[in-house]
Amino acid sequence: MNAMARLKYLGTETYEVFNRNKTSWAGLLLLSILLLIALLAPILAPYNPVEQNIIQRLQPPSSQFLLGTDYYGRDVLSRIIWGCRVSFVIGSISVGIAMFFGTIFGSLAGYKGGYLDHLIMGIMDVLMSIPILLMGLLIVAILGPSKVNLIIALALTMIPRFARIARAPTIAAKNKVYVEACQAMGFSDFRILVVHIFPNILGDLMVMGSIWMATAVRTEAALSFIGLGVNPPTATLGGMIREGFKDILSAPWASLFPGLVILLIVFSANLLGDGLRDALDPKLRNEN
Amino acid sequence: MEYVLEVKNLSTAFKLRSGWYPATCDISFSLKPNETLAIVGESGCGKSVTAFSLMGLLPKHGSRIDSGTALFKGEDLLTMPKDKLRKIRGSAMTMIFQEPMTSLNPVLTVGSQIAEAVYYHRGGGKAAAKKRALQLMDMVKIPAPESRYNDYPHHLSGGMCQRIMIAMSLACEPDLVFADEPTTALDVTIQAQMLYLLHELKQKQQMSMIFITHDLGVVAHVADRVAVMYAGNIVETAPVAELFANPRHPYTQALLKSIPRLDRDNRDIAPIQGMVPAIDKMPGGCRFYSRCRKQTQCRPDEFPQLKALKDSQDHLDRCLLNE
């Protein structure tokens, strides 16, 4: 009952602020549609995404192939639908992993301070100094291109970002009187961190999560574009752009449409992130 | 056991850029069961530092306890293992903070925060903890506890939040409560309610209290004994009536003179001249010397000890002139 009431309260308040901003609704709507499409790929896709059909290659969009076909005669729409699925799976899993470890490292560093803080954040800074794409390249080049390696690469590049995001509000919360009051109540550090500080930094993490989700999707596409992503013939958005690139002047649909879908995913995730930030930030809440 | 808490020669130092400096030194006092000791003094005189030292809540970096013992029910708080001290903290020994609005976690309901204190120290299931929390909310006179239980701190007023804090700190029936200026952030009518409530709860629960404040009016209200602190020392300690009637230390005398009162001609109000010496520029002798109006009769280089007065064993002061 207590937990339910709390959720309901936090829910309504967050919902109210979220609701004030129409663009965040647009982001949520768009992202949900794309997610739904990815989820229902086996039902929605009109053709097998990997089946080649040389006779029908590079067909322009028509009633038979809504978004045309690519160099190997595969239906672009079907490949986009399946490609979305790959993007979302890789994006959300890598963000999830990064958020989990990043939060642990960051809040531990922030709460404990001292040498542990220097050690953890030093390692994070080193990781962060390597550009995301370069790090992705490095890991995929070492471990070889596959879905799992791509997720590892993306997660590794995002962990320091989440560590930073978790550390700053942890330090801010640590110096609040209520944490001191918790210590005066004799609660253990673990309990203070998990029960009292974590709910206070969750908002920041959610915002970063949705914004980095967009970056993860983008990076995955970029790596696939240079041929270091998921192996062909699996349909990925970045891979489709690459394959269609050589015919871009004669058959622009093969790379243009997957590019547009990447744009849509990134755009909607960013809109959602901004809306969430406004809704979860207590300072903005009080102003309204 | 005669005393709940017996502190002897407690000294706490802080690290500044140029080295370690004592923030409090040679603090000694004792507390009987069900007694309220008020520690008074101006900002920065070491009242809170004393409480935080005893609770083991000093910041880990940049502070240390140099010497002293603090026997709490026969065990030394200053040398016991951290885990043991942590278990005592929040159950047998608790603290009420100055700012009720910021002392509660803004994202958790007030009821669950009380229940957590019960559950954490007493165990016995969440349902039992909730029941006890409601009972405590009723005890601190929060109207309709059932409906307030799921409120967040920002739904409540400062006075209500302070009642919640009091309920939390009394959750496990402590033997000793530190009240660190619990009424300073509240307006005067709420202050009076809070003092009355604390007094009533103290009678009911049989606990000792250390009441830290700079408000002598509050002291007169709540305390059994008073310890006056100045620049990290206790300069005078006596039963409350005795201290107000017969202040012996020049600082206490000056302090009492500087308060406007309704029942007295206020034309002779005399502020204390000068400033408290900075922590890194403490004189070796009497710390009040430079501001003392009996300066001319005194010796600046000798450090006075806290001693019982000749005519009263219960009244101690730290002044060379009264020796």
Long-range contact set of residues B189-197: C-beta below 8 Å, sequence gap at least 24 = B190/B158, B190/B159, B190/B162, B191/B218, B193/B159, B194/B159, B194/B162, B194/B163, B194/B166, B195/B221, B195/B222, B197/B140, B197/B141, B197/B163, B197/B166
Nearest alpha carbon to residue A262 among A103, A119, A84: A84
- For B135, the 3-state DSSP assignment is helix
A2 touches chain B (CB under 8 A): yes
Lowest mean pLDDT among A227-231, A259-263, B163-167: A227-231
Nearest alpha carbon to residue B243 among B4, B34, B33, B37: B37
> Which of 16-35 (B) contact A at CB < 8 A?
none
**C-alpha count within 13 angstroms, C-beta hemisphere, residue B112:** 17
Q: Are the C-beta atoms of residues B227 and B306 closer than 8 Å to each other?
A: no
Lowest mean pLDDT among A51-60, A171-180, B117-126, B282-291: A51-60
The mean pLDDT value for B153-166 works out to 87
Q: How confident is the model at residue A7 (pLDDT cuts 50, 70, 90)?
A: low
Model pLDDT, residue A14: 62
A119 touches chain B (CB under 8 A): no
Lookup: tokens for A51: 């089946």
Q: Do A185 and B130 touch (CB under 8 A)?
A: no
Q: How far apart are CA A287 and CA B162, in angstroms?
A: 26
Strand partners, B208: B176
The mean pLDDT value for B194-198 works out to 87
Model pLDDT, residue A105: 92
The chain-wide mean pLDDT, for chain A, equals: 81
Q: Do B150 and A184 touch (CB under 8 A)?
A: no
**A1 pLDDT more than 50:** no
Which residue among A2, A183, A200 sits closest to B112, beta carbon to beta carbon?
A: A2
Nearest alpha carbon to residue A246 among A52, A53, A58: A58
Query: Which of the pair, A108 or B265, is modelled with greater confidence?
Result: A108
Contacts of A2 in chain B (CB under 8 A): 109, 111-112, 130, 149-150
Model pLDDT, residue B257: 83
Highest mean pLDDT pick, A23-27, A73-77, B245-249: B245-249
The mean pLDDT value for A5-23 works out to 63
Q: How confident is the model at residue B108 (pLDDT cuts 50, 70, 90)?
A: confident
pTM of this structure: 0.77
Counting residues of chain B whose pLDDT is more than 70, the rounded percentage is: 99
Query: Which of the pair, B303 or B268, is modelled with greater confidence?
Result: B303
Model pLDDT, residue A135: 82
Q: How many residues does chain B have?
A: 323
Q: Dihedral, CA atoms, B162, B202, B234, B220, nearest 10 degrees?
A: 80
Strand partners, B38: B211, B226
CB pairs under 8 A between A and B: 78
- For B16, the 3-state DSSP assignment is strand
Lookup: tokens for A138: 């490095």
Nearest alpha carbon to residue B36 among B177, B174, B139: B177
**A287 pLDDT more than 50:** no
The mean pLDDT value for A208-227 works out to 84
**C-alpha count within 13 angstroms, C-beta hemisphere, residue B261:** 15
Lookup: tokens for A56: 């029908």
B165 touches chain A (CB under 8 A): yes
For the stretch B161-189, pLDDT in tens is 888 998 888 888 888 999 888 888 788 88
Nearest alpha carbon to residue B87 among B108, B67, B72: B72
Model pLDDT, residue A118: 92
Nearest alpha carbon to residue B43 among B232, B319, B316, B245: B232
Nearest alpha carbon to residue B91 among B171, B20, B18, B16: B171
Please tell me the distance in Å from B302's CA to the nearest CA on chain A: 38
Q: How far apart are CA B323 and CA B306, in angstroms?
A: 10
Q: How far apart are CA A31 and CA A254, in angstroms?
A: 23
Q: Do A2 and B120 touch (CB under 8 A)?
A: no
Contacts of A113 in chain B (CB under 8 A): 61
For the stretch A87-136, pLDDT in tens is 888 888 999 999 999 999 999 998 888 888 999 999 999 988 888 888 88
Model pLDDT, residue A184: 87
Lookup: tokens for B66: 């140099």
Which residue among B86, B149, B165 sits closest to A186, beta carbon to beta carbon?
A: B86
Model pLDDT, residue A13: 61
- For B80, the 3-state DSSP assignment is coil
Q: How far apart are CA A29 and CA A273, in angstroms?
A: 13
Nearest alpha carbon to residue B77 among B177, B9, B6, B3: B6
Residue ranges and CATH numbers for the domains of chain A are: 13-49+67-287 (1.10.3720.10)
Model pLDDT, residue A122: 92
Highest mean pLDDT pick, B195-204, B257-266, B299-308: B195-204
Lowest mean pLDDT among A35-39, A225-229, B111-115, B228-232: A225-229
Counting residues of chain B whose pLDDT is more than 90, the rounded percentage is: 6
The position carrying tokens 């404040």 is B213
Model pLDDT, residue A2: 47
